[in-house]
Chains A and B, each alone.
Chain A
Amino acid sequence: MEILVCVKRVPDTAENEFELNSDGNDLDRDDLVYSVNEWDNYAVEEAIQIVDDKGGNVTVVTVGDDESEEVLRREMAMGANNGVLLSDDAFEGADGKGIAGILKAEIESGKYDLILTGAQADEGAGQVGGMLAAMLDLPYASLVNKIEVIDDSKISVGREIEGGNQEMNEIELPCVLSIQTGINEPRYVGIRGIRKVASVEIPVKGASDLGVDPAVVGADGAKTKRVDYFVPELGDGAEMLEGSTEEIIEKLIEKLKAKGGL
């Protein structure tokens, strides 16, 4: 099976405290720690497991700048066979549809049985997989937490639905799936693994290589635009307990007693 996994380099929510810049309209990006989107690791792991079992290749692709190459290498260290970086100044300001349009061009230049994305990334939209499927006229399933290959033409997929229930479907190949966390246990990647793929050539393709029109996939074609970032004033927020740990614990115990927590 030939599997393509779309991945993204994102600010790591576990490693950063997000602050606005001095103008208050963007994140202060100077010291942000980036990593591969959490959901994408599950997608790559799933692809590797399918290929280990059924044969084929895993290709990882991302739309991004030069620095995005590092996430491709990380996923190749996990076991993906190939990486492709789609990069062009003209892609800047692309919205979800722009990104999907760029990926579509790359997908059409190859032949894939299965296309995976993470269920969502840093923006929390969860949009690229579904858009890609619609653009390619392929069947789609989101939030997939189980995959079983039935034969060359169809697979069984479980989708996570509300309350932890699972919706089982049969879906024809080729198809697009967005992968939910928990579907597997992504393997650990050590420094050694990264070193092994450090010198592997990763092709870079721009708008003209892909034959996409920057006026459609770039900022000019974007119907959805982020205006600014801000921190909302949400009610009063929590009453923050301050002082030494001992003092805090004393105050907390009083409150817990009053509220029935003790």
Chain B
Amino acid sequence: MADIFAYVPHKVGVVEDIAYEYPDAAAKIDTGAAVTAIVTGTGADLDKACETLTGYYKEVIKVDQAELSYPNAEIIRKVLVNIVPAGAIVLAPHDTFGMDLAPGLSVKMDAGYAADIVDIEGTDGSDLKLVRQELGGAVSTHVTCDSSSGAVLTIRPGAFTPAEDASAGGSVTDKSGDAGDLSSKRTFVEVVEAEVGDVDITKSDVLVSIGRGIEDEENIEVAQELADAMGAVVSCSRPIVDAKWLEKSRQVGTSGQTVKPKVYLAMGISGSFQHMGGVKGNPFIVAVNKNAKAPIFQVADVGIVEDILDFMPELTEAIEDL
């Protein structure tokens, strides 16, 4: 099988968790494959990231250039095309960076492409046997990706088992000189931090979280009444914020807040990985959904098939009567 190269993003030298998950993904392609981490950036931050990575990878390639101090996918794509040998398999995270980088990389490498991989079942000749999901997690699919001229895969964060043993004792190869042309028609300007809202959902032990199942802005009151009765706070999924029914600071998920409550009530939420990616600390999850097949029931502790608009007021009343 081809060699595997794993692109590792980092923030000021702290590598992202996906770095620990790539080795499991690579082993599921081929237990014997050589896996090389690639990390880009500049100065002490980059060296710190390399130091961490040598614990988990035998070989680490670093590319140190001032232009790479912020991870602009347009530039990093060019670097990878220069550094990764033809025919290799490249792993990237399926997140806001990987989605920016990887599809175009597969075109430039003339390689196969498969996104958001949740499991890998080995190979069949040059075909990689992959598992992914469609329709917001409602169904899974087996997919093959022909890697005979290389492949680019984006890996879902959290889907593979993180490596714990940091004893790889790897070495770092400096390929800064091979980076090539670092110009770009897209220039990074700044990061604007998310606005802080009036309610901090991350501080609450109990969240009543509403999704598209709430159907109408006026119905949010019903959830607020339940939250009041429970001494909880109302949070939500993304469509509620997109519709401007609640502030962005109430959104749970990868592009919203990460919460660690004791109890999480998911009301009319389907359970997409971007939403559940913001629910951490193993809370007790109660899901109420009118669709018995909703993916949320695979991750919840307790499931109830009901219409939330009928169920929430009755639950509120019962709690108030306690």
Contacts and interface: CB of A to CB of B under 8 A. Distances in A.
Contacts of A129: 103
B303 A241 contact: yes
Interface stretch (A59-67, A69-77, A196-204, A250-258): A250-258
Interface string B295-322: 0011111111110001100110011001
Interface residues of A, number: 84
Nearest to B212: A14
Given A182-B238, A253-B319, A134 B99 contact: no
Nearest to B129: A227
B20 to A, nearest CB: 17
Nearest to B254: A162
A241 B301 contact: no
A127 B74 CA distance: 15
Interface string B87-100: 00000000111011
Nearest to A255: B302
A190 B239 CA distance: 21
Contacts of B256: 163-164
Contacts of B265: 261
B182 interface: no
Contacts of B262: 259-261
Contacts of A246: 314
Interface stretch (B25-33, B41-49, B104-112): B104-112
Contacts of B300: 237-238
Given A18-B135, A182-B238, A227-B143, A139 B186 contact: yes
Nearest to A174: B185
Given A18-B139, A96-B103, A225-B143, A238 B301 contact: yes
Given A227-B143, A238-B303, A165 B193 contact: yes
B21 interface: no
B145 A17 contact: no
Contact of B96 (A142, A235, A253): A142
A82 interface: no
A221 to B, nearest CB: 10
Nearest to A164: B194
A88 interface: no
B64 interface: no
A166 B191 contact: yes
Contact of B255 (A163, A168, A260): A163
B301 A239 contact: yes
Nearest to B127: A225
Interface string B254-283: 111110001101000010000000000000
A232 interface: yes
B141 interface: yes
B315 A126 contact: no
Contacts of B222: none
A124 B255 contact: no
Contact of A140 (B74, B257, B263): B74
Specify the main secondary structure of chain A where it touches its partner.
Answer: mixed
A106 interface: no
B255 A164 contact: yes
Which of B101, B238, B242: most chain A CB closer than 10 A? B242
B104 to A, nearest CB: 4
A230 B315 contact: no
B26 to A, nearest CB: 19
Interface of A: 11, 13-14, 17-20, 27, 95-97, 100, 119-120, 122-131, 133-135, 138-143, 156, 158-172, 175, 178, 181-182, 185, 223-232, 234-235, 237-241, 245-246, 248-250, 252-253, 255-256, 259-262
The 7 closest A-B pairs by CB, nearest first: A130-B103, A238-B303, A134-B104, A134-B107, A261-B263, A164-B194, A223-B112
Interface of B: 72-74, 77, 95-97, 99-108, 112-116, 131-136, 138-146, 151, 184-194, 205-206, 212, 230, 232, 238-239, 241-244, 248-249, 251, 254-258, 262-263, 265, 270, 284-287, 291-293, 297-306, 310-311, 314-315, 318-319, 322
24 contacts: A13-B136, A124-B115, A130-B103, A131-B104, A140-B186, A160-B255, A167-B191, A167-B192, A168-B189, A169-B72, A169-B188, A171-B185, A172-B186, A182-B241, A182-B242, A224-B144, A227-B143, A231-B139, A231-B140, A232-B131, A241-B303, A255-B284, A259-B263, A262-B322
